[in-house]
Amino acid sequence: MSLPASLYTAAQVRELDRLAIAERGMSGAKLMQAAAAAAFKLLRTRWPRARRIAVICGPGNNGGDGYMLASLAQVAGLTPTALSLGDTDKKSTDALAARKHCKAAGVSMKNFSAELLAGNDLIVDALSGIGLEREVSDEWRAAIEAVNQSGIPVLAIDIPSGLHADAGRVMGVAVKAAATLTYIGLKAGLFTGAGREHGGEIFFDDLGVSASIYTQLSAQAQRLTPDTLYSALPRRRRDLHKGDAGHVLIIGGDQGMPGAVCLAGEAAYRAGAGLVVLATHPNHAAQIGAAHPELIVHGVASPEALRLLLARTDVIAIGPGLGQGEWGHALFGAVLDTSIPMIVDADALNFLAADPLMHRDWILTPHPGEAARLLGMRTEEIQADRFVAVRELVASFGGVAVLKGSGTLIASLKLNMERRASAASRAILDDAVALCDRGNPGMASGGMGDVLTGVIAGLRAQGLPSTDAACLGVWLHAAAGDDAAASGEIGLLASDLFPFIRARLNRLVADAPS
């Protein structure tokens, strides 16, 4: 089953579970059987040669899923071992019944020991499930560490044990799975923070929950997909001229840092902007102009000179290579009283952190360290719950916030991308957070953020609302990064993305429903 767009918290999934049971009259035990059957089907498809399977079962319903899976493996002629961990007396009623069923099926039942993992072809993690709220310790920590050190591939049931289902943070230690099968609703924590490192390949099964159930609950977040982005695409008439495609002014490039504005400028063009002007330090204006003939370059020495460029500007992007000196600070101050939409990145975010203010129509694009400075927190606190952090950025500064990182998040005070593309496509809901699960580690190199700033600015200049420009820009940037990394992630440069940004955008336009 393909992955849906909606992402949920653990509490929301439990509510979906309750609603499904109430609607269909299906017992928790029947859902457990369905979950085990889905997991066993994936196991046989993903690891067809696996014969010896260690199924680690905790005391809750996640453990019950594991016991039922072990029973199915036994009936199929495989050699499963159910390894129990935790207080057997504290098992749920359904989990106890599943354990008895497993024993009756002839499955070898043992208490967990790290030595028992050796010789298995696969480990099934059915230990803690989605309810974990405290740090993993003692025997559970030792068990998870043994699993990670075993070198045996792991299939996680619903979520890797030790990973917070809502926030995607590691609760002391977490299983590193090769694949995760998650049920009923996608868990938000699998797609951001440490979740992308620990979840492996994500699979989904709704266990037969009807579509009407999902309409009764607003999701925590929405994954960005082509279906959710078609309606955000810029519309281009046949008689379009460059003035219609928007004018972008990019401010930055203090002495010794001309590269950042150049990257942002070309990225804005690749995203479809009609005209891109750079306001940069006078010392290298001529150098940039000679190397990049499409860019209009102005050497700007003062705020007064900068203000002369604002009259015909549709969008300002400020921050790439701006520096932390007097020149950059003066230019940042010069644009704060304008009503022109802005993308604020890099060094400009540090100026904002030092003198916070609200703005209705800007897009902030911090990485976790910059977000920490903006909110007066530590980077670790930002990463501990990225969903909370991105909402706090919007509450504190207004506009739209893009919290970059693994599983980039986009939030606004009212995030609502109306869908015109298809009645079947799900809308990004009011007050939800949008999440991009594209991108790769090869994009951890200098200049990638400058390219993102340029892409978003280019889209915003074409008339897209700030939220749509941010969501589409983040997805295009990440998808282009994946395309550019097809030949390998190591050595990927920010400029390598340019042809793929253009190709991805044109492909989206071509594929969009008319």
Domain ranges of the chain: 6-219, 226-511
| CB count in 10 Å sphere of residue 436 | 25
User: What average pLDDT does range 76-96 have in this prediction?
Assistant: 88
Give residue 419's pLDDT band: very low, low, confident or very high (50, 70, 90).
very low
Backbone phi, then psi, for 108, in 5-degree steps? -65, 125
3-state secondary structure of 302: coil
Q: What is the mean pLDDT of the chain?
A: 93
> Picking from 11-25, 46-60, 167-181, 335-349, which range would have the lowest pLDDT averaged per residue?
11-25
As beta bridge partners, residue 428 has: 417
Residue 58: CB atoms within 10 A of its CB come to 28
Burial (CB count within 10 angstroms: exposed 0-12, middle 13-18, buried 19+), residue 310:
middle
Which whole number is the average pLDDT over 471-484?
99
30: Cβ–Cβ under 8 A, 6 or more apart, which residues?
none
What is the pLDDT confidence band of residue 427, given thresholds at 50, 70 and 90?
A: very low
514: pLDDT strictly greater than 90: no
Q: Mean of the pLDDT values across residues 418-432? A: 39
Specify the pLDDT at position 81: 99
Other Cβ atoms closer than 10 A to 113: 11
The per-residue pLDDT for 413 is: 76
CATH number (2.60.40.10, 1.20.1730.10, 3.40.1190.20, 1.10.10.10) of 226-511 reads 3.40.1190.20
Beta bridge partners of 202: 180
Helix, strand, coil % in the chain, rounded to nearest 5: 45, 15, 40
Q: Give the residue with greater pLDDT, 429 vs 17.
A: 17
Q: Strand 179-183 vs strand 247-251: parallel, antiparallel, or unpaired?
A: unpaired
What is the CATH code of the structural domain delimited by 6-219? 3.40.50.10260
Amino acid letter for position 291: A
Q: Residue 408 and residue 191: Cα distance in Å, rounded? A: 9
Kindly state the average pLDDT of the residues 409-435. Answer: 56
Distance (Å, whole) CA 390 – CA 192: 12
Mean pLDDT (whole number) for 323-336: 97
Q: What band does 92 get if pLDDT is binned at 50, 70 and 90?
A: confident
Q: What is the mean pLDDT of residues 70-77?
A: 99
- The pLDDT, as a whole number, for residue 240 is 82
DSSP classification of residue 292:
-
Token pair 């390949």: residue: 201
Contacts of 43-50 with CB under 8 Å at 24 or more apart are 43/69, 43/73, 43/122, 43/124, 43/155, 44/76, 46/155, 46/179, 47/121, 47/122, 47/153, 47/155, 49/121, 50/78, 50/121, 50/122
Residue 158 is predicted with a pLDDT of 98
CB atoms within 10 A of CB 395: 13
Per-residue pLDDT band for 245 (boundaries 50, 70, 90) equals confident
pTM of the full predicted structure? 0.94
CA–CA distance, 126 with 123 (Å, rounded to integer): 9
Average pLDDT over residues 453-474: 97
Torsion sign (Cα): 206, 207, 210, 213: negative
Residue type, 364: L
What are phi and psi for residue 362, nearest 5 degrees? -135, 160
Q: Which residue has the higher pLDDT, 498 or 21?
A: 498
**What per-residue confidence (pLDDT) applies to 90?**
64
Q: Does position 418 have pLDDT exceeding 80, yes or no?
A: no
State the pLDDT at residue 479: 99
Quick check: 189 pLDDT over 50? yes
Q: Which carries the bigger pLDDT value, residue 470 or residue 311?
A: 470
Reply yes or no on whether the pLDDT at 335 is more than 80: yes
Whether 139 has a pLDDT exceeding 90, the answer reads yes
Look at residue 89 in the predicted model and tell me its pLDDT.
63
**Average pLDDT of the segment spanning 311-322:** 97
- pLDDT at res. 91: 67
Say how far apart CA 237 and CA 452 lie, in whole Å.
Answer: 26
277: pLDDT strictly greater than 60 = yes
CA distances from 144 to 19, 125, 158, 160 (A): 33, 9, 16, 10
Whole-angstrom distance, CA of residue 489 vs CA of residue 253: 28
Q: What is the largest CA-CA distance in the chain?
A: 83
Q: In whole angstroms, what is the distance from residue 54 CA to residue 154 CA? A: 10
